[in-house]
Structure 1
Amino acid sequence: MTPPNAPAATARPTTALLSVRDLAKTFPGRRRLGRPAAPVRAVDGVGFDLEAGRTLGLVGESGCGKSTTGRMLVRLLEPTAGTIAFDGQDITHTPQRRLRPTRRHLQMIFQDPYSSLNPRQTVARIIAEPLLVQGGSARDARVKAAELLDLVGLGHEHLDRHPHEFSGGQAQRIGIARALATGPRLIVADEPVSALDVSVQAQIVNLLERLQDELGLALLFIAHDLSVVRRICDRVAVMYLGRIVEIGTKREVYETPAHPYTRALLSAVPLPDPVAERRRERILLLGDPPSPASPPSGCAFHPRCAKAQDVCRTRRPVLEAVGSPTRQAACHFPDSP
């Protein structure tokens, strides 16, 4: 039986650095007035592949499960079900001690640079800490920290300063330097620019693009800003209520979206041309996103979808190829290019 949200069987074969299949995470519900609450299925059968040196964008509304997915991939959260394979090795339930050698190749950049940096530590200590955990010497770790600061656009003269002495963009550069300390092959970037000013966002995106080209990194770029995702990503996966509803190349998803949710998200992205902005059709979604504690039957998007029919209310769609083997959508009535 095919997993409900795995890549379609017709997708082109790949040599994936990261391969995720039917990944799920369920949190226990909070008790209210002594009554047990329904469990929250934050991630519900996610599947995708990411090749070395490539970038996959994971987009969707707040609360759709993007960050939970990213944290499971680096094992900051334990998956409830599914598999995570990194470089051909299943790391889904590998004990933390045995996972340490793999962790040097799998790092994360967090959304809020200030909350992810220890305010009591110097920049040198923050960047060096992953190397010390991996068994490196303090002297070598400090030398490496200075090199990494230069790499991300901060001088080594900042080594002995503390996080509060830096702007948001500078602090995020320190977080990026820390993620690069162990020489990773894959970085999960969890909304790394959403807390920054627009002008600073462009600088950080440019930095990530340069680092990817120079170091051959694979990136899983989690974001809700589709303009940023379009700039940096090769492929895009759209999430809704814990599931991937569309995945394909950047050109396919942005120019010929197949899922109505993807079309609605893209219609909300501002256009630089005021005339085109006034003329284009805006797609307004009905109501609010459902609660993951009590998701709708059938297709989770059907209460907000103008195309919904009876089958959408009773049968959950699976990811299937639409128009090309590189693009799949989970919709009973997808828009064909």
Structure 2
Amino acid sequence: MHFPGRGNRSAPVRAVDGVSFDVAAGETLGLVGESGCGKSTTGRMIVRLLEPTSGTIAYEGRDISRLNRRELRPVRKDLQMVFQDPHSSLNPRQTVARVIADPLLAHGSSESAARARAVELMDLVGLIPEHIDRYPHEFSGGQAQRIGIARALALDPKLVVADEPVSALDVSVQAQIVNLMERLQKELGLAYLFIAHDLSVVKRVCDRVAVMYLGRVVEIGAKERVYAAPAHPYTQALLSAVPLPDPAAERARERITLLGDPPSPASPPPGCAFHPRCARAAAICRVEAPILRGVARGEEREVACHFPGAG
């Protein structure tokens, strides 16, 4: 996904540049990285809220990246999204009943059937069905996010793209929403693309983790392996910033401090995009961009680094 730059001579902003991954039925893939690395843009392209500049989006073996609105309509039932800010994603002029029923009405349900389904969904996500005729501003942030989840589930999707669904909530409420999403996944067989910058939350909810840096995936693999033995220096730095619950262990461990600021996606550096901030960058890193390769034989993990796993 390349956005046009400002002015006629400005370089395009390469928000997402060569990302490739898959999400299996019923699994949760975590997509992590710094703000501005392209996580949310990736999620919005998957559900076709943004039109990709190039490449394909394959759903159940079918390329949906070039479908027109009529062709895309039946596919939209299976691909839904939960947004980061619950209140800004809900229409303040509509009652909760209408907010949740809108997807159903758009796909041909009657008013009565859509309302009945909205009542069911209110109960499913832990809200009081009798409050269905209230407006979004009458709910707390956590309750509003439950409404957003109910709306996403209205059409019985198979994949839900959750774009930082708990980052705008208090810590205690975050735990409630995470528990809710885990329960719904088990009950409904959902697959999640869970976009986040909080690695503690990702560790709790995800099966696999993909780490993004400057529009590219630099490491992807099973959660246990990525957290236990990160292979990319950027992943190592991210994990070193996660607080440990044990004060003694927190004081004893070594923090990895990255050099400088992330480069601009409008003018990425040559070679490996991470090399200006990498303490172990070599000459090859400055001229040759690494591709995703397997870390070890028999291990389902890939890393884009010329010197993976080095200390």
Same fold (TM over 0.5): yes
TM-score normalised by L of structure 2: 0.98
Report whether the alignment pairs 1:271 with 2:247: no
Report whether the alignment pairs 1:79 with 2:52: yes
Report whether the alignment pairs 1:333 with 2:307: yes
1:139 aligns with one of 105, 112, 118: 112
Instruction: Please tell me the residue identity of whatever aligns with 2:151.
Output: R
Deviations 1:43-83 (A, max 9, x none): 00000111000000000000000000000000000001111
Mark the runs of 5 or more structure 2 residues left unpaired by the alignment.
none
1:256 aligns with one of 211, 223, 229: 229
2:84 aligns with one of 97, 111, 118: 111
**What's the counterpart of residue 160 of structure 1?**
133
The structure-2 alpha-carbon separation of the partners of 1:336 and 1:49, relative to structure 1 and needing over 3 Å to count, comes to farther
* Cα drift, residue 278 of structure 1: 0.3
Instruction: Please tell me the residue identity of whatever aligns with 1:149.
Output: M
The structure-2 alpha-carbon separation of the partners of 1:319 and 1:230, relative to structure 1 and needing over 3 Å to count, comes to same
Give the whole-Å Cα distance in 1 for the aligned partners of 2:136 and 2:128: 14
Is contact 1:263–1:283 with CA below 8 Å preserved after alignment? yes
Give the whole-Å Cα distance in 2 for the aligned partners of 1:50 and 1:106: 12
Report whether the alignment pairs 1:211 with 2:187: no
Report whether the alignment pairs 1:30 with 2:6: yes
Give the whole-Å Cα distance in 1 for the aligned partners of 2:85 and 2:173: 14
* Cα drift, residue 89 of structure 1: 1.3
Matches within 5 A, 1:21-100: 25-31=1-7, 36-100=9-73
**What's the counterpart of residue 17 of structure 1?**
none
Give the whole-Å Cα distance in 1 for the aligned partners of 2:119 and 2:267: 50
Instruction: Please tell me the residue identity of whatever aligns with 1:107.
Output: Q
**What's the counterpart of residue 293 of structure 1?**
266
Give the whole-Å Cα distance in 2 for the aligned partners of 1:300 and 1:314: 10
Give the whole-Å Cα distance in 2 for the aligned partners of 1:260 and 1:332: 11
Instruction: Please tell me the residue identity of whatever aligns with 2:216.
Output: R
* Cα drift, residue 155 of structure 1: 1.3
**What's the counterpart of residue 3 of structure 1?**
none
Give the whole-Å Cα distance in 2 for the aligned partners of 1:264 and 1:200: 28
SS at match of 1:285: coil
SS at match of 2:84: coil
* Cα drift, residue 325 of structure 1: 3.5
More strand by share: 1
SS at match of 2:51: coil
Give the whole-Å Cα distance in 2 for the aligned partners of 1:30 and 1:113: 30
Give the whole-Å Cα distance in 2 for the aligned partners of 1:230 and 1:204: 15
SS at match of 2:55: strand
Q: What RMSD in Å do the two structures reach over aligned CA positions?
A: 1.0
Instruction: Please tell me the residue identity of whatever aligns with 2:6.
Output: R
* Cα drift, residue 148 of structure 1: 0.2
Instruction: Please tell me the residue identity of whatever aligns with 1:178.
Output: R
Mark the runs of 5 or more structure 1 residues left unpaired by the alignment.
1-24
Deviations 1:277-300 (A, max 9, x none): 000010000000000000000000
1:245 aligns with one of 208, 218, 228: 218
Give the whole-Å Cα distance in 2 for the aligned partners of 1:127 and 1:189: 17
Aligned length: 310
Give the whole-Å Cα distance in 1 for the aligned partners of 2:305 and 2:280: 10
Give the whole-Å Cα distance in 2 for the aligned partners of 1:294 and 1:325: 34
Give the whole-Å Cα distance in 2 for the aligned partners of 1:108 and 1:152: 15
* Cα drift, residue 36 of structure 1: 2.5
SS at match of 1:44: coil
Q: How much identity, in percent, do the aligned residues show?
A: 74
Instruction: Please tell me the residue identity of whatever aligns with 2:223.
Output: K
* Cα drift, residue 98 of structure 1: 1.1
Report whether the alignment pairs 1:176 with 2:152: no
SS at match of 1:46: coil
* Cα drift, residue 97 of structure 1: 1.6
Instruction: Please tell me the residue identity of whatever aligns with 1:251.
Output: E
* Cα drift, residue 152 of structure 1: 0.2
TM-score normalised by L of structure 1: 0.91
Deviations 1:133-185 (A, max 9, x none): 01111100000000000000001111100000000000000000000000000
Give the whole-Å Cα distance in 1 for the aligned partners of 2:110 and 2:9: 50
* Cα drift, residue 336 of structure 1: 6.8
